[in-house]
Amino acid sequence: MNEAVKTSAAVSEGAHVAHPHEQAHEHHHETFVSKYIFSMDHKTIGKQFLITGIVWAIIGGLFSVLFRLQLGYPEESFPILETFFGEWAKGGQIQPEFYYGLVTIHGTVLVFFVLTAGLSGTFANLLIPLQVGARDMASPFLNMLSYWFFFLAGVVMLSSIFVHTGPASGGWTMYPPLSALRQAGDGQKLGADLWLISMSLFIISSLLGGLNYIATILNMRTKGMSMTRLPLPIWAMFFTAVLGVLSFPVLLSGAILLLFDRNLGTSFYLSDIVVNGEILPNEGGSAILYQHLFWFLGHPEVYIILLPAMGMVSEILSVNSRKPIFGYMAMLGSLFAICILAFLVWAHHMFVTGLNPFLGSVFVLLTLLIAVPSAIKVFNWITTIWRGNIRFTPATLFAIGFVSLFISGGLTGIFLGNSTIDIHLHDTMFVVAHFHIVMGVASFFGMFAGVYHWFPKMFGRYLNNTMAYMHFWVTMIGSYLIFWPMHYQGLAGVPRRYLDKRGWVSFNDFADLDKMITVVSIVVFAAQLLFVFNFFYSIFKGRKVRTANPWGANTLEWTTPIRPGHGNWEGDIPEVHRWPYDYGKDGREFIPQTEPVGAQETKSH
Amino acid sequence: MQAFLIIAILVLAFVIIFQISKASEYVAVLRGWERTRKQTNRINAFMLLAFLVLGLIGVYLCNEKFKGRILGEPASDHGELVDQMLYVTLAVTFVVFLITQIALFWFAYKYQESDDRKAYFYPHNNTLELIWTVIPAIALTVLVGFGIVYWFRITGEAPKDAMQVEVVGKQFGWEFRYPGADGILGKKYFKNVDPVNGNPAGQIWEDSTNKDDVFVEQEMHLVVGKPVKLVIGAKDVIHDVGLVHFRMKMDAVPGTPTTMWFTPKYTTKQMKEKTGNPDFVYELSCDQMCGRGHWSMRGVVVVETQEEFDAWLASKKPQYLVANPDKDPANKKEAPAASTKDVVIN
């Protein structure tokens, strides 16, 4: 056992933590099943999360194309839909209940399965041990369980799509009483139970993963890797995991109470209900209670999605500008501030629920406060590329796109966080545009940046650049074309989740825009398929990586062999002597973290 | 058939893109990887700049195209506050948007990789960071300040002379109740709901304030210039009373009544003239997902003068009399007639 592992084992005060590493050292015999399926190697688990996430992203994206067809062409009929979906698309037209099923599953899948599990799961697993200098996660077994609980959650969710009465259709927020009452709609029957079970499994997965990430980052850093020498993605994953561990249990309680209301006759959320002519006995519950429980997770969730993207973007911009990240400590401080404030703003989703106006005003203050650390991050990213020497790898482009989208979407948050304006904009297309830009597309950009940047580490090959650039430009232009004009619909008050606006005098003014958005979203979806193709093609046929450090980066993952085995480093774990952002220092392009500080070196950081 | 054609075209496009991509990688390797990389770098740097310029032009054109379609003048006093706040925020954020986006893309273009440049080692600068912590903090404080003042004005107590209307959402429609001459909405209990016997709102008939309450569906009448307080509820699931033209919105929650108030500024007739649209009506939309009919849950609001309103209300029979026809004086008139007949027979 080498020096570094000894140190980290000593820190974590338990020889059992170091145990798996010793095994890994001996290159134990691996079968196909133990290597690729029930693998405990953090890199393989990361890839499993990524590939599962990709599958879900395709499903979620396809669903959005389907409901965009309805939104863009409400008068038209598409016989092909009837071929595939039968009575849900009777006469080639998407039926309302199915439409709401589509939006619900689209939202749930993309928020939780893709941008939480697919993003955090992939990169926390891949990067934490590699960048802190550990042979694996603190508990590889829990890590494996985390993936398989996620997989199980996916199976349950997928099965709900094939239920006769359709999947859950109460929106991704699943507000009761709608989601609690079977009488309220077809999607509220079996589909809603499956949704709740699936989410509960998902929460378990995310807790197992999160605890592991925190334990690994705190206990298993290699020698010399002090907390302030951690690369920013690791800090971001750390705060992400903290957010998840503290807030997901609250959603779990919300979901379980809802299951009770649905199946055991309790009245946590139900009171004074006459549904479909039937008077229910429930009295004394509060429908708003669920919203508090939901958004106590729901808002941190936004940052659970965003922070890993922010961390990776910081790293990628710095590496490819050949320049240190500007204001490492400020970046860290703002991550911390966002993490704290994320817990204190949830009720800004509930300004018009009848919330006490005074309470509302407190949440306005806290919500707009969160714009300050966000602004610091934006200015620091911009200063990072200022006077750099920028290489526009596909990852860099996606990182720049991320910053651009984060600005655009972040600024519209200032509208919505202000309760006065929110009265008008709440639950309109403005909200849809806002969160798709800032949370959806921006995080996807962070994720793409990460995939393009670390693909060589994952598979020892590069993605095809031509397809990558096409993917970027179509997605970048398309995202703005889809979501920028959508704000105008919102300003006009067009409510969300209206599948046909022709019956309205006030909202029927945007038929041309809806058509345009639909066409562009199909094109953008096709570009994502191009990426998926590129991804799988390049795993097997991509250009081979021939140098250990293809981007000239400082962090530890590039000191491993090109295709690292279980245990990551063949010899000892390297020792760290400096922070990870010594780019362009003293006339040298980059100085890896493993290089001792020279006697003549300028002092900094 | 058309669908298959589209799919065939897409697949073909895929194959072509794939072949080009593969070929360009071979070419790059043949020509020298580094040379190709540098060329691609220049192209992408230029594209970023082009994206900025075309994007900003697009932002302008988009605004030109759609600015006429966002709902012109607000039709309530609170709506004016909302719009004012909105435009102040828009001005502030648009300036920030321009500065940051231009800086981002311009720097990306200007500092693209070049053999003559070395990146500038610039890890931090406390003064700069302080500046861009403090300035957003001040700007946001101003916005929060305005926002909260307006918010309290909008959500504060309704004036004493405000008229009251009860709004109840149900899958999928709206019900309204007017307090009648006494100005008090009678008590109700959800287990009394019985539409078949004329009690859709679940009113408690023992409560005498219920006797003059008027119940209507789908159409709400308001008086121009008179504050109105809506008492909002829901029967089955959460709905939301969305009044776009008044810029007002409030959830309708089963079991937890909510309220909102505002003063309509223009009658429906005046709005028809203002908008130049003879079909104009104030619409009441459900803004909270409530099930399969959510998108069609439309109500109409008629804003009229006091005289028109009084005439309208007078034409409605109190629900108590609808539910208890034997108590209706209109029926009673016939009742004595019947009794005289009885007398005759006797």
ipTM value: 0.92
Q: Output the six-digit token pair for A333.
A: 């401080």
Residue A602 in domain: no
Which residues does chain A have within 8 Å of residue B92's beta carbon, measured at their own beta carbons? Answer: 414
Which residues does chain A have within 8 Å of residue B290's beta carbon, measured at their own beta carbons? Answer: 178
Q: Output the six-digit token pair for A485.
A: 């004009």
Q: Does residue A183 surpass a pLDDT of 80?
A: yes
Q: Which segments of B85-179 are extended strands (E)? A: 163-170, 173-178
Nearest to A509 by CA among A528, A497, A493: A493
Q: Output the six-digit token pair for A491.
A: 């300003």
CATH number, domain of B190, equals 2.60.40.420
Which residues does chain B have within 8 Å of residue A325's beta carbon, measured at their own beta carbons? Answer: 123
**Residue A431 burial (C-beta neighbours within 10 Å; 0-12, 13-18, 19+):** buried
Counting one residue from chain A and one from chain B, the pairs whose CB atoms sit within 8 A come to 380
pLDDT score, position B333:
59
Residue B177 in domain: yes
As a whole number of angstroms, the distance between CA B242 and CA B70 comes to 16
In Å, how far from its chain's centre is CA A395?
17
How close does chain B come to A401, measured CA to CA in Å?
9
- B168 and B239, same domain (yes or no): yes
Return the amino acid letter for A512.
D
Residue A514 in domain: yes
Mean pLDDT of chain B: 91
Residue A196 in domain: yes
- B146 and B99, same domain (yes or no): yes
Strand, helix or coil for residue B222: strand
Q: Containing domain of residue A424, as a range?
A: 3-590
Residue B344 in domain: no
pLDDT interval class at A109 (50, 70, 90): very high
Long-range contacts of B25-28 (CB under 8 A, 24+ apart): B25/A464, B25/A465, B25/A466, B25/A543, B28/A465
- SS3 helix, strand, coil % of chain B, rounded to 5? 55, 20, 25
Q: A507: part of which helix (H) or strand (E)? A: none
Return the amino acid letter for A539.
I
- B319 and B179, same domain (yes or no): yes
As a whole number of angstroms, the distance between CA A361 and CA B152 comes to 8
Residue B167 in domain: yes
Q: Residue A297, Cβ neighbours under 10 Å: how many? A: 23
- Scored b (16 or more CB within 10 A) or e, A503-532 reads ebbbbebbeebbeebbbbbbbbbbbbebbb
- B297 and B214, same domain (yes or no): yes
Which residues does chain B have within 8 Å of residue A427's beta carbon, measured at their own beta carbons? Answer: 240, 242, 249, 287-288
pLDDT score, position B342:
46
Q: Does residue A605 surpass a pLDDT of 80?
A: no
DSSP B115-183: TT---------HHHHHHHHHHHHHHHHHHHHHHHHHHHHHHSPPPTT-EEEEEEEETTEEEEEE-TTTT
Cβ–Cβ under 8 Å, residues A116 and A305: yes
As a whole number of angstroms, the distance between CA A56 and CA B105 comes to 32
How close does chain B come to A502, measured CA to CA in Å?
10
Q: Output the six-digit token pair for A77.
A: 């009929």
Q: What is the DSSP-derived secondary structure letter of residue B228?
A: E
Largest CA distance in chain B: 121
pLDDT score, position A24:
46
The number of domains in chain B is 3
Q: What percent of chain A has pLDDT over 90?
A: 86
- B220 and B240, same domain (yes or no): yes
Residue A29 in domain: yes
Report pLDDT digits (tens) over A44-89: 999 999 999 999 999 999 999 999 999 999 998 888 889 888 889 9
Test B123 with A328 for CB contact under 8 angstroms. yes
Test B295 with A499 for CB contact under 8 angstroms. yes
Q: B260: part of which helix (H) or strand (E)? A: strand B258-262
Test A503 with B137 for CB contact under 8 angstroms. no
As a whole number of angstroms, the distance between CA A282 and CA A271 comes to 5
Q: Output the six-digit token pair for A88.
A: 């849900």
Q: Does residue A7 surpass a pLDDT of 90?
A: no
Q: Does residue A330 surpass a pLDDT of 60?
A: yes
Q: What are residue A125's DSSP bridge partners? A: none
Report pLDDT digits (tens) over A234-283: 999 999 999 999 999 999 999 999 999 999 999 999 999 999 889 999 99
The number of domains in chain A is 1
Q: Which of A7-16, A191-200, A218-227, A547-556 has the lowest mean pLDDT?
A: A7-16
Residue B75 in domain: yes
How close does chain B come to A26, measured CA to CA in Å?
39
Which residues does chain B have within 8 Å of residue A505's beta carbon, measured at their own beta carbons? Answer: 277, 279-281, 283
Report pLDDT digits (tens) over A468-478: 999 999 999 99
CATH number, domain of A216, equals 1.20.210.10
Average pLDDT over residues A16-34: 56
Return the amino acid letter for B58.
G
Q: Containing domain of residue B4, as a range?
A: 1-31
Please give the angle made by the CA atoms of A190, A435 and A383, to the nearest 5 degrees. Answer: 145
Contacts for A12 with CB less than 8 Å, ≥ 6 apart: A18, A138, A215, A219, A220
Q: Residue B68, Cβ neighbours under 10 Å: how many? A: 8
- B266 and B318, same domain (yes or no): yes
Test B122 with A323 for CB contact under 8 angstroms. yes
- B176 and B131, same domain (yes or no): no
pLDDT score, position A37:
84
Q: Which of A46-55, A324-333, A584-593, B326-335 has the lowest mean pLDDT?
A: B326-335
- Scored b (16 or more CB within 10 A) or e, A188-203 reads bbbbbbbbbbbbbbbb
- B135 and B169, same domain (yes or no): no
Q: Output the six-digit token pair for A255.
A: 């979901």
As a whole number of angstroms, the distance between CA A377 and CA A392 comes to 21
Q: Output the six-digit token pair for A310.
A: 């922010």
Residue B229 in domain: yes
How close does chain B come to A53, measured CA to CA in Å?
22
- B21 and B38, same domain (yes or no): no
Return the amino acid letter for A347.
A
Residue A408 in domain: yes
pLDDT score, position B1:
67
- B326 and B205, same domain (yes or no): yes
Residue B342 in domain: no
Which residues does chain B have within 8 Å of residue A492's beta carbon, measured at their own beta carbons? Answer: 69-71, 244
Return the amino acid letter for B178.
Y
pLDDT tens digits for chain B (346 residues)? Answer: 677 888 888 889 889 999 999 898 888 888 888 899 999 999 999 999 999 999 999 999 999 999 998 878 899 999 999 999 999 999 999 999 999 999 999 999 999 999 888 899 999 899 999 999 999 999 999 999 999 999 999 999 999 999 999 999 999 999 999 998 898 999 999 999 999 999 999 999 999 999 999 999 989 999 999 999 999 999 999 999 999 999 999 999 999 999 999 999 999 999 999 989 999 999 999 999 999 999 999 999 999 999 999 999 999 999 999 998 888 887 765 555 444 444 444 4
As a whole number of angstroms, the distance between CA A283 and CA B169 comes to 18
Test A352 with B250 for CB contact under 8 angstroms. yes
Return the amino acid letter for B130.
L
Residue B343 in domain: no
pLDDT score, position B341:
44
As a whole number of angstroms, the distance between CA A363 and CA A17 comes to 43
Strand, helix or coil for residue A175: coil
pLDDT score, position B5:
85
- B246 and B180, same domain (yes or no): yes
Cβ–Cβ under 8 Å, residues B48 and B109: yes
Residue A595 in domain: no
In Å, how far from its chain's centre is CA B43?
43
CA-CA-CA-CA dihedral for B206, B208, B213, B215, to nearest 10: 0
Test A426 with B59 for CB contact under 8 angstroms. no
Average pLDDT over residues A22-33: 60
- B186 and B317, same domain (yes or no): yes
pLDDT score, position A11:
41
Rounded to two decimals, the pTM is 0.93
Residue A604 in domain: no
Identify the closest residue of chain B to A500 by CA–CA distance: B295
Identify the closest residue of chain B to A424 by CA–CA distance: B247
Residue A599 in domain: no
Average pLDDT over residues A99-122: 95
> Cis peptide before B215, with omega less than 30 degrees from 0?
no
CA end-to-end distance (rounded Å), chain B:
83
Residue B46 in domain: yes
Mean pLDDT of chain A: 92
Q: Residue A426, Cβ neighbours under 10 Å: how many? A: 27
Nearest to A476 by CA among A528, A415, A533: A528
